[in-house]
Structure 1
């Protein structure tokens, strides 16, 4: 086809070559270029390299084609790439996971209301935000150990089985995939932020810590976009939404600090808003939740900087005061649920262990210090307190907290092993009249009690006992003969296998090798 007004096409004009004014012209056909006549004639200018012009034209057209493809994928709701999987979320599964959440997890994660969840389920058909929230909630509950779901929707598991990580992983991947189909970052909601939190918790339970860290930072970033760190944000919303948003902020606050201590990460959230209000007449009292916030509140940027070795201005006075704060953070009697109490008491002793580790790393400990928290034997006292409190809790009240609680027990046990390898193994002060060899206060017996507890919690025997076995063999091999026979056999049987890596380096927490150069007599 010829052009009515004979003139060179855009490409030939740019290349300064003769054009036969057809469409496409011979030159464009041979060069593999699009032949257009859209350019407005310009004044003649200096000639350039024809090869360079062809390259520029091809690059421009390539970019144009890519932009066209991006625009085609820019409407994901109509794209099959982000279509929701059918028959993955059943009504029975949603109800089972929701019931388990409010029965077991709500006291420590009071960020959802049952009525609000029911309304979100109704919105799943037309709201991707609602669909991703419910999918991530179910994923989180399925990955949690120690919870029994009365449903037939589990993969490779009978009705009434414990939670199922295989299906939980599929749901987590489904939420991540579908979420890419809408711009949740530019237009976030509180449900968007909760979804990121549940994705973090799911990754944590699956030991996928890089993905977990990403989703936790995503959750804190979305919280800041929503203004949760600003008290004025809460002045113009209804009371229910305000309460839920305030609780979510403090849950992220606590979670970020715990993860920062575990994985040596920086902080993003600060204690900048008021705590949620506690209603003493409400059955869903927030007393336990606020206790947990107060436990982690002293661990600010200064401490995390010292812990991550980005700061060096550490002082023994600061650490001794922090130990005192942790000791006084919880009342003797906790007006909470049993599962909350288990989490609080375990976290308290774990935090005391971490502060002690920082004290010895900076050379602040002394065998003659009048402050027991600044002595080498303090981890034995911590283990004694931890064994005493955990003996009061049921197995289920501890298992509902998943791998996170087991890791805290593991860290206290590893620190105790290090101390036992460097201090005389004598009985700690006690009023007991029993012989020293059978005293529960002996470090060997405290260690045996902790290892027994870890081995009985679901996920502890397979993942953490092999790691402890390696640590004992490397650090304190003589203690193996002092352990109960059944526990020693279990540890020997799992010493080289299990689902966890059998190297101390793979441990989520490992006491730093800072023992050299200190006398612990």
Structure 2
């Protein structure tokens, strides 16, 4: 027979394994068009037995097999895995890999009570949807592992006040468990390649991984994942009003909250770890969103307003040349922090929100005082409290008075950020007690009682790192040596 007229289509010398077994056309590229479209592992082998018609499988079975293979095996070979290399490299234990959907759902009450108010992005119904999809979609699996890690990390120190999971691989989560979940999240995530787009869910996953990394003391890793979330914010054009105008108001408000969360986390990291900032404040506070509880919206707006005080000038002076700090600038910032209207508004919020806001304000007052001290602006009779030499001692009285009125679990549930703020405050108070002893014996006794109280709170955190703990305990030893004649109700820890 003669061949048909017209151009003939060239044949590929060898099809890839998935195309061969499914009996579909392959273009023979390093990752063929079919595998790219279906997100399959594209391989080429010479095993004729596996390529024979007798051993071929149904197309659906092949797709399912290769998707499962790419989910469970190949992602661990990507360039993301080294980011969790030692000390974040232990192999996930079998128990951490066998969680059921019931277990993940059992964490939702804790998530909504202790995580969502400070990360009001993914709702409980959306978490449930991700749980249902995590076996088939990698982005949802990555989010659920990160959601589990951050919920356990923030609530494991306060089980007496939190709902315990109904079931799970272990009864008491620890750093190994959090590490395993972080690894599972990273290894489940779809790499960002051509054709893939960032999403709100993925950005939130990065933020949750950042929070866990910070809690475990892996600050560089936390910085990396925070920058990943910020990159997604830029790619989603959240600060572009024109691009966001087509969205519904709830979706637009949710994206604005995500932007502000990254802003807050970046400003905090800049102060604590002297890292540069890239996000300017958003052009507006989050819009009203009827899908979010009013108290959560009000509290979140107060957190945003508080961190907006860490403006470009504050960051520049803190991590740069502090010789430019002036008394006038310190007085201006003190007036911003000493706001009577703010105190009234915050008093109407929940204990959980109040704890975060009050401690954050006292932390900022401590930072302001340190900047004034570094430029020799302090005196014993200054017109502005932030310029007075003994200002941290008054802070200790105010902070103790507030903390005695609320549950200690409410403090601990805030995690590593709360630890950093309290450490800064307590260390500063201890320095003043040691180096500024001009006071009566009764005043010294009260000061020591205050820092002993605050010490007990700081040392109660499960994830307090060894170095800051040792520094704090060394200062307490100096106080005991400096004032051996002073007896306190609580013994300073050694």
Length-normalised TM-score, structure 2: 0.75
Deviation of the 1:202 alpha carbon:
0.8
Q: Is the 8 A contact 1:425 1:442 kept in 2?
A: no
Q: What CA distance in whole angstroms lies between the structure 1 residues aligned with 2:465 and 2:182?
A: 25
Aligned to 2:272: 262
Paired residue for 1:337, among 350, 358, 373?
350
Q: Is the 8 A contact 1:278 1:285 kept in 2?
A: no
Paired residue for 1:360, among 367, 370, 373?
373
Tell me, yes or no, if structure 1 residue 277 matches structure 2 residue 273. no
Tell me the SS of whatever aligns to 2:187. Answer: helix
Deviation of the 1:195 alpha carbon:
0.7
Structure 2 regions of 5+ residues with no counterpart?
1-28, 42-66, 78-91
Tell me, yes or no, if structure 1 residue 370 matches structure 2 residue 380. no
Paired residue for 1:445, among 421, 446, 449?
449
Deviation of the 1:293 alpha carbon:
0.8
Q: Flag the structure with higher helix content.
A: 2
Deviation of the 1:463 alpha carbon:
7.2
How many residues are paired up?
A: 410
Paired residue for 1:382, among 392, 395, 408?
395
Deviation of the 1:185 alpha carbon:
9.7
Aligned to 1:350: 363
The correspondence of residues 19-38 of structure 1 with structure 2, limited to 5 A, is none
Deviation of the 1:486 alpha carbon:
5.0
Aligned to 2:301: 290
Residue by residue over 1:93-139, the C-alpha shift from the partner in whole angstroms, topping out at 9 and shown as x without a partner, is 21122221102222222112122222222222332111111111111
Q: Is the 8 A contact 1:334 1:341 kept in 2?
A: yes
Deviation of the 1:361 alpha carbon:
1.0
Tell me the SS of whatever aligns to 1:442. Answer: helix
Q: What CA distance in whole angstroms lies between the structure 2 residues aligned with 1:357 and 1:476?
A: 24
Residue by residue over 1:392-424, the C-alpha shift from the partner in whole angstroms, topping out at 9 and shown as x without a partner, is 110111111012212211111110111122213
Tell me, yes or no, if structure 1 residue 413 matches structure 2 residue 426. yes
Aligned to 2:110: 100
Deviation of the 1:487 alpha carbon:
3.4
Q: What CA distance in whole angstroms lies between the structure 1 residues aligned with 2:445 and 2:299?
A: 29
Q: Is the 8 A contact 1:418 1:475 kept in 2?
A: no
Aligned to 1:396: 409
Paired residue for 2:472, among 468, 474, 482?
468
Residue by residue over 1:17-46, the C-alpha shift from the partner in whole angstroms, topping out at 9 and shown as x without a partner, is xxxxxxxxxxxxxxxxxxxxxxxxxxxxxx
Q: Is the 8 A contact 2:363 2:422 kept in 1?
A: yes
Q: What CA distance in whole angstroms lies between the structure 1 residues aligned with 2:210 and 2:178?
A: 13
Query: Could you say if the C-alpha distance between residues 189 and 483 of structure 1 is closer, same or farther in structure 2, counting changes exceeding 3 Å?
Result: farther
Q: What CA distance in whole angstroms lies between the structure 2 residues aligned with 1:310 and 1:417?
A: 25
Residue by residue over 1:335-356, the C-alpha shift from the partner in whole angstroms, topping out at 9 and shown as x without a partner, is 2111111111111101110111
CA RMSD of aligned residues (A): 3.2
Of the structure 1 ranges 115-124 and 324-333, higher mean CA displacement relative to structure 2 is found in 324-333
Tell me, yes or no, if structure 1 residue 233 matches structure 2 residue 246. no
Tell me, yes or no, if structure 1 residue 146 matches structure 2 residue 150. no
Paired residue for 2:197, among 187, 200, 211?
187
Q: Is the 8 A contact 2:355 2:410 kept in 1?
A: yes
Tell me, yes or no, if structure 1 residue 478 matches structure 2 residue 482. yes
Q: Is the 8 A contact 1:372 1:378 kept in 2?
A: yes
Deviation of the 1:455 alpha carbon:
3.1
Query: Could you say if the C-alpha distance between residues 373 and 184 of structure 1 is closer, same or farther in structure 2, counting changes exceeding 3 Å?
Result: farther
Residue by residue over 1:417-449, the C-alpha shift from the partner in whole angstroms, topping out at 9 and shown as x without a partner, is 11122213426xxxxxxxx63x69832222122
Aligned to 1:513: none
Deviation of the 1:183 alpha carbon:
3.3
Deviation of the 1:273 alpha carbon:
2.5
The correspondence of residues 172-251 of structure 1 with structure 2, limited to 5 A, is 172-179=182-189, 181=191, 183=193, 187-251=197-261
Q: What CA distance in whole angstroms lies between the structure 1 residues aligned with 2:218 and 2:354?
A: 27
Q: Is the 8 A contact 1:278 1:287 kept in 2?
A: no
